[in-house]
Amino acid sequence: MTLRIEAADLWHISIRLKGSFETSFGVELDREAIVIRVRADTLAGWGECVAGAYPGYSYETARTAWHVLGDFLLPAVLGVSISGAAELPSLVQRIRGHPLAKAGLEMALWDLFGHAQGKSLSLLLGGVRDRVPVGVSVGIQPDAPALLGAVHAYLGHGYRRVKIKIRPGADLDRVQALREAFPILPLQVDANSAYELKDAGIFEAMDDLNLLLIEQPLAEDDILDHVRLQALLKTRLCLDETILTGRHALQAIEAKACGVINIKAARVGGFTEAVHIHDLCRARGVPVWCGGMLETGIGRAANLALASLPGFVLPGDISASERYYAEDLAYPLFTLNSDSTIDVPSAPGLGIEVDPRAVERFSLRHAELRASAKGPI
């Protein structure tokens, strides 16, 4: 089946988190994103581009994604007949970088084709599970007691795996305090590139705390120092920001820079590349798990579908909807099962209903592009 992409909408949204989320690169309270809708025939597909207000995790922002989507990516698909979302990477191959923008558009195309074929995204990607194990990612707290309180509350909600964000000055003492309070809790840390190899002593001191993994301790473009750090530790390093392509994943694995990879479709330019990375990790026995970007219900549905693939053997950063926003953009909301899993949507496409009025309410600006009116917006 081929579909001619006739029109697309972009909404630049700002949606307030229930509580601010602090990482080593900053504090986020109002989450910006670009919501994308593509249309073909009588069908629509929705996507979420997770580029935010500030270029901390990625160089992309909602504003750069607006520019790249509107001026380059959408003109490459509008008016074009395509037979599946997996064709997008080749259509936009010549546009360098901007994986978050590309992934948001690919998500909308997956949703569109899922509806056209009556198949869920999980089914289209090769998912094998109808519920996936999840954990919670806890932002940097003002002090150790606040962190213990926050973790205690999340355990009360039923989460059975906890990740805490760390940064220089808020690291070893926090992890030690947590480990003392919760001796057998599956626990991992995420530094978001905040350290250098000279800080290795901090990670060596964490090595006996039985962490599941240490995520992205060093700079995103530094595979070699991750190799050196990994050689000092028995705890597995996990790469997030470093891995933008399958090639990066292969090189990091072969060099022994990490023992685990965090897969985010957004960071690698879409689900096609995410599945490719999953497949090559699985073939080499490298465990993967699904990362998160504080998505609305649109991106969360897509993450659940990705996490249903067989190589996703560690719990994902995919918490229940109510952990993030007072009001979401898509329904039904995702809830945590008593075994710290979330159900994978089984309805066609993303398997959710987007509420266009909610999208409008959180919208800072909207643009509509049509096949007949290609070009800059």
Q: Footprint of Mg ion on this chain (CB under 5 A)?
A: 190, 215, 240
* Consecutive H or E run containing 251: helix 246-254
Based on the shown chain and the rule CB under 6 A, indicate whether residue 190 belongs to the binding site for ligand OSB: yes
Task: Give ∠ CA 37-274-190 in degrees, rounded to 5.
Answer: 105
The question of whether 234 is a catalytic residue gets the answer no
Kindly determine how many residues on this chain lie close enough to bind ligand OSB according to the rule CB under 6 A: 11
Which of 54/72 has CB closer to ligand OSB?
54
Q: What is the DSSP letter of 242?
A: T
**Which region among 95-103, 230-238, 287-295, 346-354 touches ligand OSB (by CB under 6 A)?**
287-295
* Consecutive H or E run containing 49: strand 43-49
**CA nearest 352: which of 371, 338, 332?**
332
In the complex, least distance from residue 273 CB atom to ligand OSB, rounded to whole angstroms: 18
Instruction: Determine which residue in the list 70, 114, 259, 291 makes contact with ligand OSB, applying CB under 6 A.
Output: 291
In the complex, least distance from residue 185 CB atom to ligand OSB, rounded to whole angstroms: 17
Instruction: Determine which residue in the list 137, 230, 235, 341 makes contact with ligand OSB, applying CB under 6 A.
Output: 137
Instruction: Determine which residue in the list 62, 214, 218, 293 makes contact with ligand OSB, applying CB under 6 A.
Output: 293
Residue 365 CB contacts under 8 Å (≥ 6 apart), including other chains: 11, 12, 66
CB 313 within 8 A of CB 281: no
Q: At 259, list the tokens.
A: 């023992």
Q: What does 294 bind: ligand OSB, Mg ion, none (CB cut-off 5 to 8 Å by kind)? A: ligand OSB
Residue type, 134: V
Which of 113/203 has CB closer to ligand OSB?
203
In the complex, least distance from residue 252 CB atom to Mg ion, rounded to whole angstroms: 15
In the complex, least distance from residue 42 CB atom to ligand OSB, rounded to whole angstroms: 33
Instruction: Determine which residue in the list 32, 48, 87, 317 makes contact with ligand OSB, applying CB under 6 A.
Output: 317
Based on the shown chain and the rule CB under 6 A, indicate whether residue 240 belongs to the binding site for ligand OSB: yes
Buried/exposed code over 106-121 (b: 16+ C-beta within 10 A; e: otherwise): bbbbbbbbbbbeebbb
Phi then psi for residue 140, to 5 deg, are -65, 130
**Max intra-chain CA distance, the chain:** 63
In the complex, least distance from residue 339 CB atom to ligand OSB, rounded to whole angstroms: 19
**Which region among 76-84, 253-261, 285-293, 349-357 touches ligand OSB (by CB under 6 A)?**
285-293
Determine the Cα–Cα distance for residues 371 and 6; give it in Å rounded to an integer. Answer: 5
Q: What is the DSSP letter of 69?
A: I
Parallel/antiparallel/unpaired status of strands 288-290 and 260-263: parallel
The question of whether 165 is a catalytic residue gets the answer yes
Other C-beta atoms closer than 10 Å to the C-beta of 368 total 12
Q: How far is CA 133 from the centre of its chain?
A: 15
Which of 252/294 has CB closer to ligand OSB?
294
**Which region among 7-15, 104-112, 202-210, 286-294 touches ligand OSB (by CB under 6 A)?**
286-294
Instruction: Determine which residue in the list 3, 22, 24, 57 makes contact with ligand OSB, applying CB under 6 A.
Output: 57
Q: What does 87 bind: Mg ion, ligand OSB, none (CB cut-off 5 to 8 Å by kind)? A: none
Catalytic residues: 165, 264
